[in-house]
Amino acid sequence: TTTVPSTSVYGFGEHEHPSFKHSMDFVTYGMFSRDQAPTPLANLYGVHPFYMCVEADSNAHGVLLLNSNAQDVSLSPNPSLTFRTIGGILDFYVFLGPTPENVVQQYTEAIGRPHMPAYWSLGFHLSRWGYGSIDVLKKTVDRMHYYDIPYDVQHLDIDYMERRLDFTYDKVNYAGLPEYIQQLKKEGMHNVMILDPFITKDEEPGTYRPYDLGEEMGVWVNNSDGVTPAVGKAWPPGDSVFPDYTNPRTVEWWTQMCLEFKDVLDYDGIWIDMNEPSNFLRGQYPGCAVNDINNPPYVPSLEKNLRVFFLKKEFHPLFSHLSLPVLRATGKRAFVLSRSTFVGSGKYGGHWLGDNFSRWKDMHQSVIGILEFNLFGIPYIGADICGFNYNTTYELCLRWMQLGSFYPFSRNHNAEGNKEFAKISRTTLRIRYSLLPYLYTLFFESHVHGSTVVLSFLSYFTHRSGRTSICKLVNVCLRIVTAMLLHALP
């Protein structure tokens, strides 16, 4: 437990926080990575035991507890903070600022500077779960061009796969996909394929290389006996095993599979979903052992309870972290989008805010999520524009497009087709595109100096050497206003 010098405390993740500045009214946040659609205060996909505190005189400092065990933190009006972790070591880092921006620069110096995104990845992305066939995909791409929407990247969700098996594509519904991908590339488009970190073990022996090779190389997460793989259930048919990314052979296996797959589908980026890791069972087959790892004497304040996991307790968040250094093998600047993140993940890739809902509240919360991930050193961040779950409405989706056009990572994952809608989206996206050199420079500064890409007004006004940043702000505002005026003129 520590006192803090003011009630202006920011950070801790990953949660849906109702405000950027935390309430100190006896609030407790659990931290443990979990496949959990954003629900207020619940522990979500990633783990970031880091906070920043801004004092009355505008001096700021940050604190990291580098610990990946199940844990929680309580905030009280004293003001004070109490960390409770059920394992690991108490590895604290203190960052002295003095400005909020200095805190983030010092933090990313310690945990790894954010990666430098490829320029194309700052363009607009389109995605949808369930195009269902290559014809629908082609029609969607054509419609985007027909309406002249600025657009650079097409994502493919799990329906491109054969029966949801990693490293395959559906040769019936997506017949001709490799050729189509090549055609899009010739037209200057980029594409991102989804992969999940679980592998079915129940295909006919000799027919599914990802499993056969992984089995031969012994890369799965084992039970506590150290030799039998832990078995769960996820998207693919049958039961699944889970690659053990702490094992160097697993990185070899994963890299090999990614390279072989690139020979089939020439992807530009990988989107890693479900890597908390997600498991549809409560525990594992044939049931979790009864011991004080599965039933710890203190259960942190977590969604459901701890007994739903089947891996040793320290494993969860690291699973995601170590699944990231993948695409480096392909020789180009990597694009990796990861649902689960941990301290330092920004070095390898970006994040989206998960399976949010098509609701006004979620649109509002996305701003908070984006500011927080800039504190966590993951500035390549966005929310699914228009919301992922539930049907969107015209007005919500339109306003969200207008906001999302200025997310660092701008992807619509639930599109709406209509002439008026297209016109307005085109206008705001063109403003985004006119600012891309500027955005790219912000990412460069983030990569080299660890600065944030998106910064709250608060940070601007408490910035000690405020001149450059106020200039930055005025500069962006002027450009946005000018661009809007130009577009508004008849």
Ligand X SMILES: *[C@@H]1O[C@H](CO)[C@@H](O)[C@H](O)[C@H]1NC(C)=O
Rounded Cα distance between 128 and 143, Å, is 14
Query: According to CB under 6 A, which residues from 102 to 161 bind ligand X?
Result: none
User: Counting contacts by CB under 6 A, is residue 31 touching ligand X?
Assistant: no
User: Counting contacts by CB under 6 A, is residue 390 touching ligand X?
Assistant: yes
| Residue 220 C-beta: closest distance to ligand X, Å | 6
Note if the bond before 252 is cis, omega within 30 degrees.
no
User: Counting contacts by CB under 6 A, is residue 379 touching ligand X?
Assistant: no
User: Counting contacts by CB under 6 A, is residue 366 touching ligand X?
Assistant: yes
Q: State the number of binding residues for ligand X (CB under 6 A).
A: 24
Query: What residues contact residue 417 under an 8 Å CB cut-off, 6+ apart?
Result: 143
- Considering the complex, state which of residue 92 and residue 390 has its C-beta at the smaller distance from ligand X: 390
Rounded Cα distance between 463 and 445, Å, is 17
User: Counting contacts by CB under 6 A, is residue 286 touching ligand X?
Assistant: no
User: Counting contacts by CB under 6 A, is residue 369 touching ligand X?
Assistant: yes
| Residue 217 C-beta: closest distance to ligand X, Å | 8
User: Counting contacts by CB under 6 A, is residue 362 touching ligand X?
Assistant: yes
Out of 149, 363, 398, 431, name the contact with ligand X by CB under 6 A.
Answer: 363
| Residue 470 C-beta: closest distance to ligand X, Å | 27
Residues 307, 238, 223, CA angle at the centre, nearest 5°? 40
Q: Can you list the pairs that 252-255 forms with residues at least 24 positions away whose Cβ atoms lie under 8 Å? A: 252/217, 253/213, 253/214, 253/217, 253/219, 254/323, 254/326, 255/326, 255/329
- Considering the complex, state which of residue 180 and residue 400 has its C-beta at the smaller distance from ligand X: 400
Nearest one of 469, 272, 278, 455 to 373, comparing CA atoms: 455
Q: Which residues pair with 160 in a beta bridge?
A: none
Rounded Cα distance between 334 and 116, Å, is 9
- Considering the complex, state which of residue 14 and residue 276 has its C-beta at the smaller distance from ligand X: 14
User: Counting contacts by CB under 6 A, is residue 243 touching ligand X?
Assistant: no
Handedness of CA 36, 343, 369, 398 (dihedral sign): negative
User: Counting contacts by CB under 6 A, is residue 16 touching ligand X?
Assistant: yes
Print the binding letters for residues 245-274 with ligand X: x by CB under 6 A, - otherwise. --x---------------------------
- Considering the complex, state which of residue 190 and residue 411 has its C-beta at the smaller distance from ligand X: 411
Contact at 8 Å (CB) between 339 and 281?
Answer: no
| Residue 273 bears catalytic tag | yes
Contact at 8 Å (CB) between 20 and 371?
Answer: yes
Rounded Cα distance between 220 and 237, Å, is 18
Q: Which residues pair with 228 in a beta bridge?
A: none
Out of 44, 103, 134, 453, name the contact with ligand X by CB under 6 A.
Answer: 44
Stretch that binds ligand X, among 63-71, 184-192, 309-317, 353-361 (CB under 6 A): 353-361
DSSP β-ladder status, 71-76 and 80-85? antiparallel
Which residue is closest to ligand X by CB? 218
User: Counting contacts by CB under 6 A, is residue 404 touching ligand X?
Assistant: no
Nearest one of 19, 25, 73, 77 to 49, comparing CA atoms: 73
User: Counting contacts by CB under 6 A, is residue 277 touching ligand X?
Assistant: no
Rounded Cα distance between 97 and 168, Å, is 48
Rounded Cα distance between 81 and 404, Å, is 34
- Considering the complex, state which of residue 123 and residue 229 has its C-beta at the smaller distance from ligand X: 229
| Choice among 273, 355, 362, 416 that is catalytic | 273
Out of 18, 218, 283, 296, name the contact with ligand X by CB under 6 A.
Answer: 218
User: Counting contacts by CB under 6 A, is residue 222 touching ligand X?
Assistant: yes
431 C-beta neighbours (distance < 10 Å), count: 20
| Residue 329 C-beta: closest distance to ligand X, Å | 22
Out of 257, 368, 371, 453, name the contact with ligand X by CB under 6 A.
Answer: 368
- Considering the complex, state which of residue 356 and residue 428 has its C-beta at the smaller distance from ligand X: 356
* DSSP secondary structure letters along 342-371: -TTGGGT-BEE--S-BSSHHHHHHHHHHHH
Stretch that binds ligand X, among 146-154, 205-213, 220-228, 309-317 (CB under 6 A): 220-228
User: Counting contacts by CB under 6 A, is residue 383 touching ligand X?
Assistant: yes
Print the binding letters for residues 414-443 with ligand X: x by CB under 6 A, - otherwise. ------------------------------
User: Counting contacts by CB under 6 A, is residue 353 touching ligand X?
Assistant: yes
Contact at 8 Å (CB) between 247 and 315?
Answer: no
- Considering the complex, state which of residue 170 and residue 276 has its C-beta at the smaller distance from ligand X: 276
DSSP β-ladder status, 336-338 and 269-272? parallel
Nearest one of 14, 109, 93, 7 to 53, comparing CA atoms: 7
How would you label 405-415 residue by residue, b for 16+ Cβ within 10 Å and e otherwise? Answer: bbbbbbbbbbb
- Considering the complex, state which of residue 220 and residue 235 has its C-beta at the smaller distance from ligand X: 220
User: Counting contacts by CB under 6 A, is residue 56 touching ligand X?
Assistant: no
Out of 365, 412, 451, 462, name the contact with ligand X by CB under 6 A.
Answer: 365
Q: Which residues bind ligand X (CB under 6 A)?
A: 14, 16, 38, 44-45, 218, 222, 226-227, 229, 244, 247, 353-354, 356, 362-363, 365-366, 368-369, 383, 390-391
Report the catalytic residues.
273, 276
